[in-house]
Structure 1
């Protein structure tokens, strides 16, 4: 019998069924891969967008807000940088014209390193909404916790998102770029090379062969009827051939409106002391004393200012006072008019106060009032010349030495008088302030001076501050030279044409003749915020410069 060849119908049907199942599986698998590929592309785009936003936020160049600039202070939830929050349209592939919407948002929490177990040593990072934070916090948060969230919907309508967590610290990009090539395993401290201020407003004061100090013109913030002034000074250490930053000190001087309150806990001032061969700050302590409460709509520091800036007889005896008047603890007054004051004596009575804060270990602490030693007037370009800078820094040195030795000031500063034609010319004023020293510390500095020991200058806490836009100006003859004194205004971006912020210390020479122009300020903290004297005592102790003689020859 002849054998049959080929496949039966059943075998063919079975083979076709197997093939159909395989093809269907392949199609499903291919569809899965396509979906997965699309999802991965969306995820990659989302991660890329989150990374770009992180770079955007890290690229701030300033700490304080300034129009047109990215600043650390402006970074908060959905705020900061140049990439806006909300919908962002992106292409999955460069070749396609269709865009896919992504939703970009970020959350920011200011973080503070604080003492949580009451042993006076900071031990934990806490967010800005934590109930355990102290009442007084730094104006600039030491760290910002950052969470960037990018969400989207895939082609099937499923909601997806990616999250990128990071942290920001108040180190501007222009400075952080210096550490890009730094070895992370190095045990040497990071060198931050000094970048001299570009404003030509801040002379460098050499303390010894290896150290110097230099400040910048103060930033000014107008707060309704009150003002706040921020002052920075950098201690520099010589690393041949240039300086590196060793320590940057930030201070705030704030004017406040207060009312007397019931007695309670308030801090004594944090006082500068000499320990060994260094200046240190002895933190204040809580004691029961007179207190005040802050009026509405005041600077955030005013709560502490009104509460703490009160002295007792015991504080005077131990030299832990804020300010003396006629050798006694200072009193508080409401100013009724020029040289007219009403003392605050009863609970609820209003008064004005001006407090100085120093940033210590990241936190602002209230410190004693400054002592104003001298005001010096110049043409605004005077210190551009090296010879003039050297003469001025030597003058400052001599004034400090006279203060420590309790001697009469005999040294003056020549070469400041001006011969001018008709027109407008900008003047400048500098104020020399010192921290109030304990009597034993001042005696120690006096011994160093007597022994010819040059360490005395580095151990003298002084501040040379440009007060052109804060001092009170007047001309002895307004017919010859008139001087403009526009109301104090906010000046945040110090480096951009400081004197053009508003017209103060700007003279107009009108006719031929000679006159003198003077700058003056109250002798305590109140002068730095352009405040009127706080008491009848302050009204009697206004410090005035020796003036500039101006010879106008049209």
Structure 2
């Protein structure tokens, strides 16, 4: 009898059930994918609505109010522009019977560029409500900070929201360009402008006619994981400043993992179009991508995914790396050694640069440092020094255009007594440009057209708190190199102090002081570099020769110097004043602070640095074996603050006076500090 072949009924039924389960799962998966695509489509429409509203607000016809919605002045909460606040019904799939309802609202904060540390130099943007009444303000806000929110209800009945933030400046749309055209009658040689009373190097470059580009002071939004830099282009008028453009950059540190082949973006770039500078969005390409580990800044998703170069990107000059080749990716193991990340899931460090465009941060090519310099904080208060620095910046830019090594800024020897002296370091950066853009500028330079700076985006950035400082003879003079930690710990006498670039002269002699910084993104970051030191391109500033002077015996060149710390009392604890700038501007005028000795035998000066670099006092020259009292006072008396001394030996000493417990035999650096408490 021949054996039977085939399947039993039970086997067929089991196979059908398995197939049915698979089909049902596939159907559910397809349904989920379709719902996800629909959700992303609707979210994209919401973002587009927000972008259209921001563009609508910027398209005003006049500055001052003439009717309800067509002026810069009329922009306020849910007011301004042609698109009204409220519900908007939009067809999301082409079927006019199926409409998705969106609700659009916006809030507006009027902001002014004001002086927050009472040094007669404007340094920070502040909301109108946070500015003290004694500040003289222009008739119009210098910018409006807009937050646009679009809400909708998802298919599951959940309320969804997307938000867009952006700046609206008092610049009419037809004038909002980077390059300002000039005529032969208004041509001027580019030069540097500085406020004479600035305690630190603040100012701007005059690039064309009366158009200025500001110097920049980096800031740290919340911690050391990112660095913010703002560059403002403006005109000075007799009673107010007219802001033309403002560029906001963020340099962010991310922890990533290799994800393999995928889709990532090329960087957005500044390009030359119709003899104007415009932002060109990045494009999607196939390349190696990464993913961000959980719990980081949302920008890390783009940073890890996109910050990879391909050979095609290098050929087309649309790469991130400033060098001729793509940078490699490295992680740091438990021993502190760098390991090359090549395989999927390999961890690596990444540092990316973003630019805010239409309210959102877009990834940009890496920072490109072309020259680094250093000098003491008083250097640019001299007219001849300002002219020398002006020529230094211009020659550095010309050299970079021609792929040449810029020259260093020649500086004289610095003479000081024992005590403290603040040094500054500045980096000149340029934007990554395409070859045809560079050639366009070269032709203008060659033909002596003075508007060439209109087409070369460059940035003069204060990198004092980011550079690495070194002294060749630390027994003669040390220089501060503190890690970026702003915390209040009364037990360990920490009150938010942070210092870099402060020279402390110890004894008679000479020392060479040098500042170095990484040329790319790593230079504008407090985190460890994302590649090994051997792979980094490092720039070194001109070396300064420092001479500590005084008489040998009896010694009369001693000094007492220390931090001026400021903290604000909150409900349960204290925070550093640099987190409370409005209060600091209101109640702590450091220019009114005085330090003196009981017998008026020497002079005490206060160096006021830009936050978060700690300000400090320096009393010199003091004769050996001096023992007396130091006194604090404010003129006029400020009832909103209390003055104290802090000593390593005595702890916190309440009140404005302190008596040295022992005669002074050596220069005292950081043993004593002033503590200001805002009530």
TM norm structure 2: 0.52
CA distance in 2 between counterparts of 1:459 and 1:538 reads: 34
The aligned runs of 1:37-436 (5 Å cut-off) are 116=45, 122-123=51-52, 167-169=107-109, 171=111, 172-173=127-128, 178-179=138-139, 189=172, 200-221=200-221, 223=223, 227-239=225-237, 243-323=241-321, 327-336=324-333, 340-410=337-407, 412-436=408-432
> 234-243 vs 214-223, which deviates more?
234-243
Residue 335 of structure 1: how far off its partner (Å)? 3.3
Name the CA distance, whole Å, in 2 between partners of 1:386 and 1:115. 54
SS in 2 for 1:204: strand
Cα gap change, 1:451 to 1:300, in 2 (>3 Å): same
Instruction: Determine whether 1:534 maps to 2:530.
Output: yes
Q: 1:181 to 1:552 in 2, by over 3 A?
A: closer
Matching of residues 7-46 of structure 1 within 5 Å: none
SS in structure 2 opposite 1:319? coil
Cα pair 1:274 1:441 within 8 Å, conserved: yes
> 1:386 Cα deviation (Å)?
3.7
Q: Deviations over 1:472-518 (max 9, x none)?
A: 11011111111111102359xxxxxxxx9512111111111111111
| Deviates further, 387-396 or 312-321 | 387-396
SS of 2:386's equivalent? helix
User: Which residue is equivalent to 1:473?
Assistant: 469
SS at 1:219's partner residue?
coil
Please name the residue that 1:461 is paired with: 457
Quick one: distance in 2 between partners of 1:548 and 1:403? 24
User: Deviations for 1:443-498, whole angstroms, at most 9, x for unmatched residues?
Assistant: 1111111111112112111111111111111011111111111102359xxxxxxx
Q: Shift of the alpha carbon at 1:383?
A: 2.4
Q: Deviations over 1:96-154 (max 9, x none)?
A: xxxxxxxxxxxxxxxxxx962898993258xxxxxxxxxxxxxxxx99779xxxxxxxx
Q: Does the CA contact (< 8 Å) of 2:322 and 2:366 recur in 1?
A: no
1:489 aligns with 2:495: no
Deviations 1:197-236 (A, max 9, x none): 966432311112221100331112464xx52111011111
> After superposition, what is the alpha-carbon deviation per residue over 1:41-81, rounded to whole angstroms, capped at 9, x for unaligned?
xxxxxxxxxxxxxxxxxxxxxxxxxxxxxxxxxxxxxxxxx
How many Å separate the matches in 2 of 1:502 and 1:292? 35
Quote the Cα distance in structure 2 between the aligned partners of 1:360 and 1:538: 35
* CA shift in 2, pair 1:368/1:501, >3 Å: farther
Secondary structure of the equivalent of 2:470? strand
Residues 481 and 240 of structure 1, relative CA distance in 2, 3 Å threshold: same
- For 1:335-372, what per-residue CA distance to the aligned partner results, in whole angstroms no more than 9, with x for missing partners? 35999521111111110111011111111110000111
Partners of 1:188 and 1:231 lie apart in 2 by 21
Q: Output the CA distance in 1 between the equivalents of 2:214 and 2:311.
A: 37
Q: After TM superposition, give the deviation of residue 301 of structure 1 in Å.
A: 1.6
Indicate how the Cα distance of structure 1 residues 361 and 170 shifts in structure 2: closer, same or farther if over 3 A, else same.
farther
**Using a 3 Å threshold, how does the CA distance of structure 1 residues 431 and 119 change in structure 2: closer, same or farther?**
same
Check whether the contact 2:216–2:460 (CA below 8 A) recurs between aligned residues: no
CA deviation after TM superposition for structure 1 residue 321, in Å? 0.5
The separation in 2 between residues aligned to 1:263 and 1:143, in whole angstroms, is 46
Distance 2:327 2:443 in 1: 31
- Kept in 2, the 8 Å contact 1:220–1:490? The answer is no
Q: Specify the SS of the correspondent of 1:502.
A: coil
Larger Rg: 1
Give the corresponding residue for 1:157.
none
Q: 1:296 to 1:551 in 2, by over 3 A?
A: same
Gaps of 5+ in 1: 1-113, 126-141, 147-164, 492-499
Equivalent of 2:439, from 430, 443, 449?
443
Q: Normalising by the residue count of structure 1, what TM-score does the alignment of the two structures yield? A: 0.63
Q: Could you say which residue in structure 1 is the equivalent of 2:17?
A: none
Q: Confirm or deny: 8 A CA contact 1:220 1:489 kept in the other structure.
A: no
Task: Give the conservation status (yes or no) of the 8 Å contact 2:425–2:464.
Answer: yes
* Structure 2: stretches of 5+ with no match in the other structure: 1-42, 55-74, 80-104, 112-126, 143-169, 177-192, 488-495, 551-679
Give the aligned length. 391
Equivalent position SS for 1:487: coil
CA–CA separation in structure 2 for the residues paired with 1:502 and 1:242: 34
Structure with the larger RCO, 1 or 2 (CA within 8 Å, 6+ apart): 1
Q: Distance in 1 between matches of 2:458 and 2:171?
A: 30
After TM superposition, give the deviation of residue 286 of structure 1 in Å: 1.8
- Name the SS of the counterpart of 1:463 in structure 2: strand
Distance 1:391 1:469 in 2: 24
